[in-house]
Structures are given as C-alpha cells and as structure tokens.
Amino acid sequence: MEFHKRTIEDIDLRNKRVIIRVDFNVPLDDALQITDDTRIRSALPTINHAVDEGAKVILCSHLGRPKGKPDPRYSLAPVQKRLQRLLGKDVGFAPDCIGPAAEKLVAHMKPGDVLLLENLRFHVEEENNDEAFSRHLAALGDVYINDAFGAAHRAHASITGITKFIKESAAGYLLKKEIEYLEGAVADPMRPFVAILGGAKVSGKIEVIENLGKRVDKVIIGGGMAFTFIKAMGLEIGNSLCEDEMLDFARGIQQHAFSRGVKFYLPVDCVDAHSREPGAETQIVPVQEIPKGWYGMDIGPASVKLFSEAIQNAKTILWNGPMGVFEVDAYSRGTFAVAHGVANAYALTIGGGGDTAYAVHRAGESESMTFISTGGGASLELLEGKTLPGLDALPERA
C-alpha cells in the first residue's frame, strides 16, 4: 500500500529548526519511573534522521491528562533522561512548550542539537486547538514533522493547528509505518485474514467489528466483551462483564458473520472467580456452566487450544484487545497463550493498541510480531475505516 503524504525524506532539514510532534505518552509508576519506553524507542528513527541531516530538533509531546495546567506528576523530565540514554547524546529540556524560556533555548541551538519541550497539555489551548497557541508553537520552527501516530486521531493544536502556520509539514517514519501496516492489512490482506478482538466492552469496538466483519475470514472474540456475546446466546454468565444494551447488536454481528461465510469463534470455557478480590477462589468451567454470582476473568485452556488452532493457517492476523484481566497473574494465561500463538504463526502479525502492546511485551513476544502499533485510539479509528485528522492536515506528496 502506497503512502501518499509528504514524508521527512522529502524535505531538506539542514540547519532548519525542525519541530517533531512525538508520542511520549509513556506509562509511569508511583515513583515517576518509566515502566515501558516502547513509544520513545519508536520515535528514534525519525529523531536520528533529523539529527544526522543537521537539523535543530525540537521535540514536543503530551503526557497523561494534566487538565490544562502544570502538574509535576505529568512532567516530561523522566522522558528527557531516558531519551538521552537512548540517543547517546545530551537532550535539552525547556520548562514550557511556548513562551520566552522555550524561545531562548531554541535560539541557542546548533545543528544536531535536540531539545524536548515540556508537556503540551499543561496549556488548555493544546486540546482546544487554539489558533494563537498553534501560532506560538509554529514560531519555534521552520519545519513540522508529525510522528505521533498515537495522537493523530485528535484535532489538537500540535497535531492539526500548527500545520497552518509553519512553512513545511510532513510525516515521520513511525506515522508512515503505522498507516501502511494498519491500512494495508485491512485494505488488501493476505488470506486467510483473522481478526482477534478482546478487551472489556463491545461498545468501544462496534465500528471495528462492523468494518472488519466485512473483510476478514475469521473473527475470534475474547476478553470481557465475549460475555455479551455468550449472554446473547441465552447462556448464564453470572456476574461477568456484560453490556445488556449490546445484546441485539451481538446477535446481529454473529448472524452477519454466518451469512457471509465468516468463521466466528467465542470462548468455550473460562476462568471464573468467586469475587474480583486478589486471591479469590477460581475454577475453570465450560461457558454453559458459569455459576450464578461468579465472574469470568480469562479464557480457559480449551478456548486457548481452539483459538490457537483457528489461527494456524492464517496469513494475516490482526489482534486488538486482551483475552482477560491479564494484569493479574492468575488471569494472564489466556492472553499470553494467544500472544505465543500469534507470534508463532507463519503470518503477517499486527498488534493494535496500548493494552495489546503491553500484553505482547509482558508475554515476551514483542520481537516475534511483524508490527505492534503504538496507538490505541488512533489504531481503532483506522480499523473503523475513518481518516485521521493528523494525517489529513499533512500535504500530499507532489
């Protein structure tokens, strides 16, 4: 699949001030230590290219939800330290993303220097796509590169607004790669094409299920959303997660799949817990035998076997959403087993979104997947068949 937008390689960066919008929205623990730096590593090819070309590299990102005002818990300072280590060179840090302090630091930059601006969302104007804020941000640079796939579905100042006030704009390597893999997989997949969909809710994936349902050969449903489908079949699901308002939709999706000859897989057994408390009593039961009052927390071993066999002949596998509450060890086996199954398949394998990326990482299979998307909401919107505002705002390749 061909990428039609201008890319970083189409622009002469030498001696230019290059603003790169990256997605450094990384998870931090209570001690403000980074627990997973995948998103930082993913931006390195674009940053290194700009450095090698002799650009003055100005990086901007958001982190968390600081609600439009400075909050030390969401400072990008820990990211600056990690980035220095990964780049093997000094990275400057501006105490704000616009204003005199940032302008002064940019004015003193030399070709090859890297400067990280403080959290964009410390200003409420970022999420409001404020014109004056966009203009201030644009004034720091000569060229704008969007490499923040994880935020490309947001019409924010640093994603769309800035492009109106800067001379040249283009896509970075990560943005290009994400679009090519995700759009390419859906538009023209090698077949059989299998979609594995998990996570908590059917409602969050309605349009993905509908869009992919028209294109895939097999659909595998796991995670909390499976119980809505199981209840729609008239079975008892105890206290398992369920969206009653989605029961008709679930029935309709299954009927559509059958009428189009799409193979539709649901769990046949599950790991049940007596309560949601840690250390609660658990048991493995067929889905027809979930006791009243119990909670379905993970797919069971028979489902793992069924799903693993269903993906064995696949040529393209797209996986979005875990199979259970994998963050808790007792309920992680289903998700990790599926991760191993997908990684071992002789197929183009794509993991979409934050939870899936983290699950694959925890299962130790990150290196074995063809591609893992860094964007949660953005990858979902692409899979729904929508266009991303961040991509729309970039010029077409001449």
Which residues are identified as catalytic?
A: 39, 201, 354, 377
What's the DSSP call for residue 145? E
Task: Compute how many other C-beta atoms are within 10 angstroms of the C-beta atom of residue 48.
Answer: 15
Contact between 183 and 226 (Cβ < 8 Å): no
DSSP output for 321-388: S-SS-TTSGGG-HHHHHHHHHHHHSSSEEEE-SHHHHHHHHHTT-GGGSSEE-S-SHHHHHHHTTPPP
* Secondary structure (3-state) at 184: helix
Token pair of 285 as six digits: 């039961």
Q: Where are the alpha helices (DSSP H) in the chain?
A: 38-52, 77-87, 100-107, 124-127, 131-138, 173-187, 206-213, 226-232, 247-259, 301-310, 333-344, 354-362, 377-383, 389-392
Contact between 77 and 19 (Cβ < 8 Å): no
- Please list, in sequence order, all residues whose beta carbon lies within 8 angstroms of the beta carbon of residue 194, skipping any fewer than 6 positions away: 216, 217, 218, 219, 220, 310, 311, 314, 316, 317, 318, 347
